[in-house]
Structure 1
């Protein structure tokens, strides 16, 4: 199934089913008005949503409405939880070099995670709004899952069955604020503004052969201002899969249906794959001897970020995140 949340003037939007071509959609208020309502009773409602999709496909989506990705909110415009891991070895290697710190002990023994803000999640076309370019505005291309209820103490294998949907997101970071925040020993907050999501949330069944071993195995295509920036494969060079991340999070507590859990910034060691965040590009440049004044700049007012996952035939799976950066200090000048 392919699900999206259409803006309708309410806080949580309207749940719609979307066809494979991303041309038609249909609301399903008789089943669930919102995605969170569907997740709250996923074992009972997912089969009904699937049956409705099959009925629409049988009639070539006759009577369905035109699908407009730009009218979509994030699949969950607000969520009960947003937790993010860091499972890509190369990203850890480069980021901790940037921070001039060793990789944390036991990095490969148990997932490294933090809990972010989930009260505001941005849609695919909403602006990245920042207060000041000096904060070092960075993108981070990630894959995440949306869960059903995850019992406390669940195993990694059982946790895979608690994945309802898979999503693509841009986990924006303010790099200029991170060092001072982390130095205080209490984690991210101001340095992690709202994340942005592609319009579609897909079931693992809809991903087919591209979902295996608890991960999505496809590259994420990243463009900055219309120029190629990277295409790292989301299923390569990882320390843990999503089942292991969820089991780690549920070790001492259960997770509520509608929790969003990320695997961290996608990163491949091969420089030909490019980068999924600007900081990685800058560290690679520094290691190559590029002087500081020539390093890749962080995002500025008016910059455009585009993220998309395409299958082997070039079809977009989640739709695109296509957004511009708006810096309030630049608007005041």
Structure 2
């Protein structure tokens, strides 16, 4: 099943989207928003699934699906926790600056709580005040959960995954060192998180969803030129069940919690990268300094994932970097 939120107020209007992403139908008779559907998932899921089947069979009223009319599937989420599940990426970044990787990173996930009020749609502009802040994309996979009790172990956490989507977790790289230097985590350096037009139930992914990982290439482009397409199921040190268990170690997670994988990365891969920081690290290791610039105003970012038939599963993130002028 594929679900989206059309732009409407602050929380969007829930629609069911056809498998080929060409048509959509209103889900207002079931739930007005995705959060409302998740809050009553036991009752809403079978009704939404029935709508999905009717839509794909062409037996329901529908309209042309426009990804540009979409907000994030959850425009406002109660909780956004982003991990760094691909430890090989962390290892590379630290190697580029001559720092050792603590052994604990391989057994204890890195995770921070981000701004869940700042989710934006797949075609929304990325507004940034200054190019000097080091604008970067980060292509990730994310999952949406139902209520997760505190202390839920990893072997039980996977059942709490209700939806899967792709993410562009925008990073302002040149603001990060000063923030982390305060030893209090990210804030200003993580301004926007954009989502694919649709979120899908895990069963929609078929054999690509195995062991709480999504085993398909994640395609990241800048100005429609491919940056990389590493496989999201490869070199993922911590699967999503482990990440959920980590997040719920000392507190319950509310329905609508979104957990991000962190930048998808394959060790030693020729398939490329999902962020510019990794490209710059590889350049630094190879020649002593980076040569690839961060994003500039007017640049565009595309993020997508294709099924075995070469068709987009989630729809594409396609957004421009635009200068923000603050109020005076």
- TM over 0.5, shorter chain: yes
Distance 1:87 1:34, change over 3 A: same
Deviations 1:218-251 (A, max 9, x none): 0011111121110011000121100011011111
- For the 8 Å contact 1:150–1:257, the answer to whether it is kept is yes
- For the 8 Å contact 2:2–2:52, the answer to whether it is kept is no
Alignment of 1:1-333 (within 5 A): 1-8=1-8, 10-58=9-57, 60-289=58-287, 291-292=289-290, 295-328=291-324
Structure 2 SS opposite 1:236? coil
Distance 1:22 1:271, change over 3 A: same
- For the 8 Å contact 2:227–2:273, the answer to whether it is kept is yes
Structure 2 SS opposite 1:177? helix
Structure 1 SS opposite 2:105? coil
- For the 8 Å contact 2:96–2:282, the answer to whether it is kept is no
Structure 2 SS opposite 1:167? strand
Which segments of 5 or more consecutive residues in structure 2 lack a partner in the other structure?
Answer: none
Over aligned residue pairs, what C-alpha RMSD do you find? 1.4
Distance 1:61 1:232, change over 3 A: farther
Aligned partners of 1:190, 1:316: CA distance in 2, in Å?
A: 32
Shift of 1:158: 1.4
Q: Which runs of 4+ in 1 moved over 4 A?
A: none
Structure 2 SS opposite 1:107? helix
Distance 1:78 1:99, change over 3 A: farther
Structure 2 SS opposite 1:208? helix
Aligned partners of 2:250, 2:181: CA distance in 1, in Å?
A: 27
Aligned partners of 1:182, 1:94: CA distance in 2, in Å?
A: 18
Shift of 1:57: 3.1
Aligned partners of 1:240, 1:180: CA distance in 2, in Å?
A: 28
Structure 1 SS opposite 2:265? coil
Shift of 1:103: 2.3
Structure 1 SS opposite 2:19? coil
Which segments of 5 or more consecutive residues in structure 1 lack a partner in the other structure?
Answer: none
Shift of 1:96: 1.9
Distance 1:56 1:122, change over 3 A: same
TM-score, length-scaled by structure 1: 0.95
Shift of 1:101: 3.4
Query: Bigger CA drift: 93-102 or 158-167?
Result: 93-102
Aligned partners of 2:107, 2:269: CA distance in 1, in Å?
A: 26
Equivalences, count:
326
Aligned partners of 2:87, 2:324: CA distance in 1, in Å?
A: 35
Shift of 1:97: 2.8
TM-score, length-scaled by structure 2: 0.96
Aligned partners of 1:296, 1:130: CA distance in 2, in Å?
A: 19
